[in-house]
Structure 1
Amino acid sequence: MKNILITGGAGFIGTNLTLKLIEKGYNITVLDNLSPQIHGENAEEKSFLYLSIKDKVRFIKGNVTSKEDWVKALEGQDAVIHLAAETGTGQSMYEIEKYINVNIGGTALFLDILANSVNRIKKVIIASSRSIYGEGKYKSEKFGFVYPKHRTEAYMCKGDFEVKHDGEDKLDLVATDEDSKIHPSSVYGISKQNQEQMVMTVCPTIGIASVAFRYQNVYGPGQSLSNPYTGILSIFSTLIKNDKGITIFEDGKESRDFVFIDDVVRATILGLEKEQANGKVFNVGSGEAIDVITVAETLKDNFKSNAPITISGNYRIGDIRHNYADLNKIKETLAFLPEYNFKRGIKKFTDWVTTQEIQKSKFDQSISEMKNKGLLK
């Protein structure tokens, strides 16, 4: 398999993956619409991400919702890495039609073309997400392992942000494995669940190998610093660089698994190249939970900033409390272990941010949108 189509290949994960695959001798075609939300205006002249792959790939500016663009992009390909998607938990709760049309509709169109036309595709890799797990996995003294329901306003409006489980007072967070309950709490999560299930269901029936990667919170040099809808590392960094304070939702103890971009690229290539990956679903993360206060304080330290940190007590509908990845399956099957812990990865990220032009913060705009839609309390 030498000819690889990467949808969303001009995005953050896509460009890093593209450059590494080119280095390994692959021929890459990229299908990407150069979304202004990610790339800014006039992307073909100014986007750092796009310019990093320009003239190194066969580039098709198009949309995954267009059959014509899919047919053109698929010609002569041996494998597809399907990264293209609308991303952002909060935004997905009010731009519902767009998220469903692009993420679910675009994937359905892709699979329909594969199922009903002659092609030489041997493998499809789908970018899934930790968001499909919802609140993740916990250990209960009474019930063993449990998967709590989504948090309710009845508790959160009183400042009680922890997850609840019927009849249990104490829950201990544990790593979420691939066999954990799937119960997304956002439209984005629902769309990623559907993407994953469609690919893993359809491809085997038409003789195509399939692999799904449930990425945790991916970060690193090259990610968008102007997109206010995804990635607290970018949001907080841009606020700091604009000499603004950091506002943290809930009580700041909510946590995420932050996985460095180089590890994500390495895991994805293992999925492409190893037959042992075929037909399987893998978590890709760092395997450690980092709370949001630690994120903010680490960024302040690395940027040598005095920006104030405010714990607001506000909360967003659809946000989860905690989630971090169990990596045993990908370790045992693909011999993958992350090379970057949070301290090492965040240093590389902040060193890169310091070299970039300061972006205008759009955080306040995104907050106003969520308030107007009743999603920020």
Structure 2
Amino acid sequence: MGQHILITGGAGFIGSHLADELLRAGHRVRALDSLLPQVHGAAGEAGRRPEYLHADVELQVGDVRDPAAVRRALDGVDAVFHLAAAVGVGQSMYEIAQYTDVNNMGTAVLLEAIVARGRTAPLQRLVVASSMSLYGEGLYRAPDGALVTDVERTREQLVAGDWEPRDAQGRPLEPLPTPETKPPSLASVYALSKYDQERMCLMVGRAYGIPTVALRFFNVFGTRQALSNPYTGVLAIFASRYLNDRAPMVFEDGLQQRDFVSVYDVARACRLALEAPDADGQVFNVGSGRRYSIREIAERMASALGKGYVAPEITGRYRVGDIRHCVADVARARDVLGYAPAVPLEDGLVELAEWLEGQTAADRVAEASAELAARGLTV
């Protein structure tokens, strides 16, 4: 018999796909979601249930910072996936109070409510969505073979357009897959808040005997992404530009490398984290383990959408809080969870392009870029 599972942020991009995955596995699913207009657009403004949310999902509209709403959402559930969060590196650098309130305080409110259930209604598992952003730069190897975990590009270097991380002698470093053992290097308020979410959940879980797992998502892409949110995933941002026949804006020289993982793989990893007996107390990367440059991603997106005539705009600017390279080492997730990424980027882009044909997107990228520039967050 399946479990009764709560997903905070369950009406969003990843949450709704996770709900589908859990329903297929025979679980009952409840979603707590504030239906934020920045994420859900007109539906969020109207407080309307997203059309893509499975009919069998019980949706409770509420804020994760509201203790009463959280207590109602927790009533009778066996396990919790905590996905609710304000998302976006750039916006977090000026909406500091908002990001800290939603991500840090929201997590604290949820944990207090879980603890208050006590031993009379113990939670069987808590899975928290963390982020690759907390690594800052990924793992590198120096020319002498030494591993380098504390890479930081200087402002002077970036102003000069010298994008690649270097050692003390000025020699370029080689990017490597980043394991969970790499120490955090927090380059944005968003990254700090995600690290706090992860640490709070694991700390409280350990103290109260609540089996807890943290999943560090890399760059997730797929259908149902918020196309009108200029601070969401890069593929969704590029799609919103292409849908309006505008060139996507690519920072630096476009050769920075990222790990793009299908939302279907992420949803499956979440389910495995619920089921794996040895996952308690651990942190896992959830990515594809493959590296792609941002310029390549823009070009592949254009091709999938039949917009090859729209070349990406390579800005030659950098954004405060951005990093150069970070790709997932998924060995621990493979060994403990049985996770293996199954959706190739090529297949995921084809499906995404088909879904995008029926979508409209309000392109707010220029507005967001102007906001960052006005605050001195792009150079």
Taking the TM superposition and a 5 Å limit, the aligned residue runs for 1:297-336 are 297-305=299-307, 306-336=309-339
Give the Cα–Cα distance (whole angstroms) in 2 for the partners of residues 186 and 267 of structure 1.
Answer: 26
Give the Cα–Cα distance (whole angstroms) in 2 for the partners of residues 128 and 154 of structure 1.
Answer: 31
Q: Could you list the per-position Cα deviations for residues 134-167 of structure 1 after superposition, in whole angstroms to 9, with x for gaps in the alignment? A: 0010011336111233322201111111123334
Q: Could you list the per-position Cα deviations for residues 313-356 of structure 1 after superposition, in whole angstroms to 9, with x for gaps in the alignment? A: 011000011100001111111221101222222222122212x2
SS of the residue 1:50 aligns to: coil
Give, in angstroms, the shift of residue 41 of structure 1. 2.1
Give the Cα–Cα distance (whole angstroms) in 1 for the partners of residues 233 and 8 of structure 2.
Answer: 21
Q: Which residue of 1 aligns with 2:341?
A: 338
Contact 2:37 2:45 in 1 (8 A): no
* Residue 116 (structure 1) aligned with residue 119 (structure 2): no
Q: Which residue of 1 aligns with 2:151?
A: 149
Give, in angstroms, the shift of residue 9 of structure 1. 0.1
Contact 1:148 1:165 in 2 (8 A): no
* AA partner of residue 325 (structure 2): H
Give, in angstroms, the shift of residue 215 of structure 1. 0.4
Taking the TM superposition and a 5 Å limit, the aligned residue runs for 1:335-374 are 335-354=338-357, 356-374=358-376
Contact 2:35 2:47 in 1 (8 A): no
TM-score, normalised with respect to structure 2 = 0.95
* AA partner of residue 43 (structure 1): G
Give the Cα–Cα distance (whole angstroms) in 1 for the partners of residues 47 and 324 of structure 2.
Answer: 37
Q: Which residue of 1 aligns with 2:17?
A: 16
Give, in angstroms, the shift of residue 45 of structure 1. 6.6
Q: Which residue of 1 aligns with 2:291?
A: 289
Give the Cα–Cα distance (whole angstroms) in 2 for the partners of residues 85 and 102 of structure 1.
Answer: 6
Distance 1:207 1:46, change over 3 A: closer
Give, in angstroms, the shift of residue 82 of structure 1. 0.1
Contact 1:127 1:213 in 2 (8 A): yes
Choose 234-243 or 72-81, whichever is displaced more. Answer: 234-243
Contact 1:138 1:172 in 2 (8 A): yes
Contact 1:44 1:50 in 2 (8 A): no
Contact 2:299 2:311 in 1 (8 A): no
Distance 1:108 1:177, change over 3 A: same
Give, in angstroms, the shift of residue 55 of structure 1. 4.1
Give the Cα–Cα distance (whole angstroms) in 1 for the partners of residues 285 and 110 of structure 2.
Answer: 24
Q: Could you list the per-position Cα deviations for residues 247-274 of structure 1 after superposition, in whole angstroms to 9, with x for gaps in the alignment? A: 2110010111000011001111000112
* AA partner of residue 233 (structure 2): G
Choose 282-291 or 302-311, whichever is displaced more. Answer: 302-311
Give the Cα–Cα distance (whole angstroms) in 1 for the partners of residues 17 and 313 of structure 2.
Answer: 34
Q: Could you list the per-position Cα deviations for residues 282-331 of structure 1 after superposition, in whole angstroms to 9, with x for gaps in the alignment? A: 00000011101101111121222211322110110000111000011111
Give the Cα–Cα distance (whole angstroms) in 2 for the partners of residues 87 and 359 of structure 1.
Answer: 18
Q: Which residue of 1 aligns with 2:37?
A: 36
Q: Could you list the per-position Cα deviations for residues 189-219 of structure 1 after superposition, in whole angstroms to 9, with x for gaps in the alignment? A: 0001111011111112212100110000000
Contact 1:77 1:120 in 2 (8 A): no
Choose 31-40 or 137-146, whichever is displaced more. Answer: 137-146
* AA partner of residue 202 (structure 2): M
Q: What's the RMSD between the two structures over aligned residues?
A: 1.6
Contact 1:89 1:186 in 2 (8 A): yes
Q: Which residue of 2 aligns with 1:3?
A: 4
Q: Which residue of 2 aligns with 1:254?
A: 256
Give the Cα–Cα distance (whole angstroms) in 2 for the partners of residues 279 and 206 of structure 1.
Answer: 12
Q: Which residue of 2 aligns with 1:190?
A: 192
Distance 1:221 1:331, change over 3 A: same
Taking the TM superposition and a 5 Å limit, the aligned residue runs for 1:41-190 are 41-43=42-44, 50-53=50-53, 55-118=55-118, 119-142=121-144, 144-167=146-169, 169-190=171-192
SS of the residue 2:284 aligns to: strand
SS of the residue 2:10 aligns to: coil
Gaps of 5+ in 1: none
Distance 1:45 1:51, change over 3 A: farther
Give, in angstroms, the shift of residue 50 of structure 1. 2.1
Choose 83-92 or 115-124, whichever is displaced more. Answer: 115-124
Choose 28-37 or 274-283, whichever is displaced more. Answer: 274-283
Q: Which residue of 2 aligns with 1:231?
A: 233
Give, in angstroms, the shift of residue 278 of structure 1. 1.5
Give the Cα–Cα distance (whole angstroms) in 1 for the partners of residues 170 and 45 of structure 2.
Answer: 55
Give, in angstroms, the shift of residue 23 of structure 1. 2.1
TM-score, normalised with respect to structure 1 = 0.95
Distance 1:276 1:198, change over 3 A: same
Contact 1:132 1:190 in 2 (8 A): yes
Give the Cα–Cα distance (whole angstroms) in 2 for the partners of residues 144 and 101 of structure 1.
Answer: 40
Give the Cα–Cα distance (whole angstroms) in 2 for the partners of residues 294 and 158 of structure 1.
Answer: 23
* AA partner of residue 91 (structure 2): Q
Give the Cα–Cα distance (whole angstroms) in 1 for the partners of residues 43 and 287 of structure 2.
Answer: 33
Give, in angstroms, the shift of residue 168 of structure 1. 5.4
Contact 2:20 2:54 in 1 (8 A): no
Give, in angstroms, the shift of residue 226 of structure 1. 1.0
Contact 2:164 2:172 in 1 (8 A): no
Contact 1:76 1:120 in 2 (8 A): no
Taking the TM superposition and a 5 Å limit, the aligned residue runs for 1:258-269 are 258-269=260-271
